Amino acid sequence: MKELGNLAIVCARRPDVLMQIYDGMVSVHTGAGSERSVLYAAWDNDAEIRRAIHELNFGRYAGKTDN
């Protein structure tokens, strides 16, 4: 449960990401159209939420940089 706040901060910084909490599950929607993906985890599963944070920051769903 400690990581849920960190996930909320990561999602709040990304206009292309939607985070929802419902019925004990957290879902993170990213992308649009046929490229849309959803990550799911129990709201108190810190390991899975950390994995989602990593994917959003550095992995497959990392935001594009303009460097």
Arithmetic mean of pLDDT over the chain: 92
- What does the domain layout of the chain look like in residue ranges? 3-57
Q: Which two structure tokens, joined as six digits, stand for 45? A: 């599963």
pLDDT at 60: 92
* pLDDT average, residue stretch 37-46: 96
CA angle 33, 48, 14 (to 5 degrees): 45
pLDDT at 25: 97
Q: For strand 17-22 and strand 37-42, is the pairing parallel, antiparallel, or unpaired?
A: unpaired
Residue 1 has pLDDT above 80, yes or no: no
pLDDT at 9: 96
Residue 64 has pLDDT above 80, yes or no: no
